[in-house]
Protein backbone atom coordinates (compact mmCIF):
# COMPACT_ATOMS: atom_id res chain seq x y z
CA UNK A 1 0.00 0.00 0.00
CA UNK A 2 2.78 2.45 0.88
CA UNK A 3 4.55 4.08 -2.06
CA UNK A 4 7.61 6.35 -1.67
CA UNK A 5 6.01 8.78 -4.15
CA UNK A 6 3.59 9.76 -1.37
CA UNK A 7 6.42 11.77 0.18
CA UNK A 8 6.04 14.21 -2.75
CA UNK A 9 2.57 15.20 -1.56
CA UNK A 10 2.58 18.67 0.08
CA UNK A 11 0.33 17.23 2.78
CA UNK A 12 3.24 15.08 3.98
CA UNK A 13 6.08 17.59 3.66
CA UNK A 14 8.62 17.19 6.47
CA UNK A 15 7.25 13.81 7.59
CA UNK A 16 9.79 10.98 7.62
CA UNK A 17 9.22 7.78 5.64
CA UNK A 18 8.56 5.56 8.65
CA UNK A 19 5.94 7.91 10.10
CA UNK A 20 4.32 8.29 6.68
CA UNK A 21 4.27 4.53 6.12
CA UNK A 22 2.62 4.01 9.52
CA UNK A 23 0.10 6.76 8.70
CA UNK A 24 -0.90 5.18 5.37
CA UNK A 25 -1.14 1.64 6.73
CA UNK A 26 -3.18 2.82 9.72
CA UNK A 27 -5.63 5.18 8.02
CA UNK A 28 -6.42 4.07 4.47
CA UNK A 29 -9.70 2.17 4.47
CA UNK A 30 -10.05 1.58 0.73
CA UNK A 31 -8.15 1.95 -2.55
CA UNK A 32 -10.20 2.96 -5.58
CA UNK A 33 -9.16 2.72 -9.23
CA UNK A 34 -10.76 4.73 -12.05
CA UNK A 35 -10.28 4.52 -15.79
CA UNK A 36 -10.00 7.47 -18.17
CA UNK A 37 -13.29 9.37 -18.40
CA UNK A 38 -14.80 8.01 -15.17
CA UNK A 39 -16.04 10.32 -12.43
CA UNK A 40 -13.91 10.13 -9.29
CA UNK A 41 -16.35 12.39 -7.43
CA UNK A 42 -19.40 14.38 -8.47
CA UNK A 43 -20.31 17.96 -7.64
CA UNK A 44 -22.64 17.99 -4.63
CA UNK A 45 -21.60 14.59 -3.22
CA UNK A 46 -21.21 14.55 0.56
CA UNK A 47 -17.59 14.41 1.72
CA UNK A 48 -17.16 11.70 4.35
CA UNK A 49 -13.58 10.77 3.46
CA UNK A 50 -10.30 12.40 2.52
CA UNK A 51 -9.60 11.39 -1.08
CA UNK A 52 -5.88 11.19 -1.74
CA UNK A 53 -4.95 11.07 -5.41
CA UNK A 54 -1.89 8.79 -5.56
CA UNK A 55 -1.69 8.01 -9.27
CA UNK A 56 -2.95 9.73 -12.41
CA UNK A 57 -4.50 13.09 -13.27
CA UNK A 58 -8.02 14.38 -12.70
CA UNK A 59 -9.78 17.32 -14.29
CA UNK A 60 -12.08 19.32 -12.04
CA UNK A 61 -15.06 21.21 -13.43
CA UNK A 62 -18.32 22.65 -12.19
CA UNK A 63 -21.71 23.63 -13.55
CA UNK A 64 -22.64 27.25 -12.81
CA UNK A 65 -26.13 28.43 -11.84
CA UNK A 66 -26.57 29.44 -15.50
CA UNK A 67 -25.78 25.89 -16.63
CA UNK A 68 -22.34 26.69 -18.05
CA UNK A 69 -19.46 24.23 -17.70
CA UNK A 70 -16.36 25.81 -16.15
CA UNK A 71 -13.07 23.98 -15.78
CA UNK A 72 -11.29 24.69 -12.50
CA UNK A 73 -7.95 22.89 -12.71
CA UNK A 74 -6.02 19.74 -13.53
CA UNK A 75 -4.80 17.90 -10.42
CA UNK A 76 -1.81 15.60 -10.71
CA UNK A 77 -0.83 12.97 -8.15
CA UNK A 78 0.03 13.18 -5.34
CA UNK A 79 -2.65 15.56 -4.01
CA UNK A 80 -5.76 15.40 -1.82
CA UNK A 81 -9.06 16.30 -3.50
CA UNK A 82 -11.01 19.30 -2.14
CA UNK A 83 -9.26 19.30 1.28
CA UNK A 84 -10.65 22.74 2.16
CA UNK A 85 -14.22 21.40 2.11
CA UNK A 86 -13.84 18.23 4.16
CA UNK A 87 -14.50 19.93 7.52
CA UNK A 88 -16.76 22.76 6.33
CA UNK A 89 -20.39 23.12 7.45
CA UNK A 90 -21.45 22.33 3.89
CA UNK A 91 -19.11 19.39 3.37
CA UNK A 92 -19.91 18.61 -0.24
CA UNK A 93 -17.63 18.35 -3.25
CA UNK A 94 -17.74 21.70 -5.06
CA UNK A 95 -16.73 20.19 -8.42
CA UNK A 96 -16.82 17.09 -10.58
CA UNK A 97 -13.46 15.31 -10.72
CA UNK A 98 -12.94 13.24 -13.86
CA UNK A 99 -10.04 10.86 -14.48
CA UNK A 100 -7.88 11.91 -17.44
CA UNK A 101 -6.03 8.58 -17.34
CA UNK A 102 -5.91 5.55 -15.07
CA UNK A 103 -6.23 7.03 -11.59
CA UNK A 104 -5.79 5.60 -8.10
CA UNK A 105 -7.28 7.17 -4.96
CA UNK A 106 -6.59 6.27 -1.33
CA UNK A 107 -9.67 6.76 0.86
CA UNK A 108 -9.20 7.91 4.47
CA UNK A 109 -12.20 8.41 6.83
CA UNK A 110 -12.25 12.06 7.84
CA UNK A 111 -12.67 11.21 11.54
CA UNK A 112 -9.48 9.15 11.37
CA UNK A 113 -7.66 11.92 9.49
CA UNK A 114 -8.75 14.49 12.08
CA UNK A 115 -7.40 12.30 14.89
CA UNK A 116 -4.05 11.96 13.08
CA UNK A 117 -3.78 15.74 12.68
CA UNK A 118 -4.38 16.18 16.40
CA UNK A 119 -1.43 13.86 17.04
CA UNK A 120 0.93 15.23 14.39
CA UNK A 121 1.58 18.99 14.32
CA UNK A 122 3.47 18.79 11.02
CA UNK A 123 0.52 17.10 9.33
CA UNK A 124 -1.84 19.73 10.73
CA UNK A 125 0.40 22.59 9.62
CA UNK A 126 0.70 21.11 6.12
CA UNK A 127 -3.07 20.74 5.91
CA UNK A 128 -3.59 24.38 6.87
CA UNK A 129 -0.94 25.55 4.40
CA UNK A 130 -2.47 23.46 1.62
CA UNK A 131 -5.88 24.99 2.23
CA UNK A 132 -4.41 28.51 2.37
CA UNK A 133 -2.69 27.96 -0.98
CA UNK A 134 -5.97 26.69 -2.42
CA UNK A 135 -7.70 29.88 -1.24
CA UNK A 136 -5.07 31.93 -3.07
CA UNK A 137 -5.56 29.83 -6.22
CA UNK A 138 -9.36 30.19 -6.10
CA UNK A 139 -9.04 33.95 -5.57
CA UNK A 140 -6.99 34.09 -8.75
CA UNK A 141 -9.58 31.96 -10.55
CA UNK A 142 -12.37 34.31 -9.46
CA UNK A 143 -10.32 37.29 -10.65
CA UNK A 144 -9.82 35.65 -14.02
CA UNK A 145 -13.51 34.79 -14.42
CA UNK A 146 -14.53 38.34 -13.45
CA UNK A 147 -12.56 39.78 -16.36
CA UNK A 148 -14.94 40.42 -19.25
CA UNK A 149 -12.48 40.45 -22.16
CA UNK A 150 -11.30 37.05 -23.38
CA UNK A 151 -8.06 38.64 -24.54
CA UNK A 152 -7.44 39.97 -21.02
CA UNK A 153 -8.24 36.55 -19.52
CA UNK A 154 -5.84 34.83 -21.87
CA UNK A 155 -3.16 37.45 -21.21
CA UNK A 156 -3.45 36.94 -17.45
CA UNK A 157 -3.21 33.16 -17.89
CA UNK A 158 -0.08 33.49 -20.04
CA UNK A 159 1.54 35.97 -17.64
CA UNK A 160 0.89 33.65 -14.68
CA UNK A 161 2.60 30.78 -16.50
CA UNK A 162 5.65 32.76 -17.65
CA UNK A 163 8.11 35.32 -16.30
CA UNK A 164 10.63 37.80 -17.75
CA UNK A 165 13.29 35.08 -17.35
CA UNK A 166 11.10 32.20 -18.60
CA UNK A 167 9.15 33.42 -21.61
CA UNK A 168 7.58 30.15 -22.76
CA UNK A 169 5.63 27.20 -21.38
CA UNK A 170 3.95 24.02 -22.61
CA UNK A 171 0.16 24.06 -22.81
CA UNK A 172 -1.16 21.03 -20.92
CA UNK A 173 -4.71 21.66 -22.10
CA UNK A 174 -6.21 21.26 -25.55
CA UNK A 175 -7.91 24.34 -27.00
CA UNK A 176 -11.28 22.81 -26.11
CA UNK A 177 -10.21 22.30 -22.50
CA UNK A 178 -8.68 25.77 -22.36
CA UNK A 179 -11.92 27.27 -23.68
CA UNK A 180 -13.84 25.49 -20.91
CA UNK A 181 -11.29 26.79 -18.40
CA UNK A 182 -12.11 30.34 -19.52
CA UNK A 183 -15.83 29.63 -19.79
CA UNK A 184 -16.00 30.47 -23.51
CA UNK A 185 -16.57 28.69 -26.81
CA UNK A 186 -13.60 27.13 -28.62
CA UNK A 187 -13.93 29.24 -31.81
CA UNK A 188 -13.76 32.43 -29.73
CA UNK A 189 -10.56 31.24 -28.05
CA UNK A 190 -8.99 30.16 -31.35
CA UNK A 191 -9.80 33.55 -32.88
CA UNK A 192 -8.29 35.43 -29.93
CA UNK A 193 -5.11 33.35 -29.98
CA UNK A 194 -4.82 34.01 -33.71
CA UNK A 195 -5.21 37.75 -33.20
CA UNK A 196 -2.48 37.78 -30.52
CA UNK A 197 -0.17 35.83 -32.82
CA UNK A 198 -0.85 38.27 -35.68
CA UNK A 199 -0.16 41.19 -33.32
CA UNK A 200 3.29 39.73 -32.61
CA UNK A 201 2.54 39.32 -28.90
CA UNK A 202 2.88 35.53 -28.71
CA UNK A 203 3.88 32.59 -30.87
CA UNK A 204 2.49 29.07 -30.72
CA UNK A 205 4.29 26.01 -32.07
CA UNK A 206 2.49 22.75 -31.35
CA UNK A 207 1.94 23.07 -27.58
CA UNK A 208 4.73 25.54 -26.79
CA UNK A 209 3.47 29.08 -26.26
CA UNK A 210 6.10 31.83 -26.21
CA UNK A 211 5.75 35.46 -25.18
CA UNK A 212 7.24 37.81 -27.79
CA UNK A 213 6.09 41.16 -26.37
CA UNK A 214 5.53 40.99 -22.60
CA UNK A 215 4.92 44.73 -22.19
CA UNK A 216 2.09 44.70 -24.70
CA UNK A 217 0.69 41.53 -23.15
CA UNK A 218 0.59 43.23 -19.74
CA UNK A 219 -1.50 46.08 -21.14
CA UNK A 220 -4.24 44.02 -22.78
pLDDT value at position 94? 86
Structural domain boundaries of the chain?
4-146, 150-218
Tell me: pLDDT of 134 over 90: no
Tell me: pLDDT of 25 over 80: yes
Average pLDDT over residues 7-16: 91
3-state secondary structure the chain: CCCHHHHHCHHHCCCCHHHHHHHHHHHCCEEEEECCCCEEECCCCECCEEEEEEECEEEEEEECCCCCEEEEEEEECCEEECHHHCCCCCCECCCEEEECCCEEEEEEEHHHHHHHHHHCHHHHHHHHHHHHHHHHHHHHHHHHHHCCCHHHHHHHHHHHCCCCCCCEEECCCCHHHHHHHHCCCHHHHHHHHHHHHHCCCEEEECCEEEECCHHHHHCC
pLDDT value at position 19? 92
Same fold, 4-146 and 150-218: no
pLDDT value at position 2? 65
pLDDT value at position 42? 93
Q: What is the pLDDT of residues 72-129, one digit of tens each?
A: 888 998 999 988 888 888 888 988 999 999 999 999 999 999 999 999 999 999 999 9
Q: Which CATH class is domain 150-218?
A: mainly alpha
pLDDT value at position 1? 67
> What percentage of the chain carries pLDDT values higher than 70?
96
Average pLDDT over residues 159-177: 89
Check: pTM over 0.75? Answer yes or no. no
Q: What is the pLDDT of residues 174-206, one digit of tens each?
A: 888 888 888 788 899 999 999 999 999 999 998
Tell me: pLDDT of 160 over 90: no
Average pLDDT over residues 55-68: 82
Tell me: pLDDT of 47 over 80: yes
Q: Which CATH class is domain 4-146?
A: mainly beta
Amino acid sequence: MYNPILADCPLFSGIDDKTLEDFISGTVSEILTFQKGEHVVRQGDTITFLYLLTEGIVRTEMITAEGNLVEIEFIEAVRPLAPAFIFSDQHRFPVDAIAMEKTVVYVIPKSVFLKEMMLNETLLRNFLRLNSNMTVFLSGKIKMLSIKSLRAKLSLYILENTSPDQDSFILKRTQTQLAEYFGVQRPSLARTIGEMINDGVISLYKKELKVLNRKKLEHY
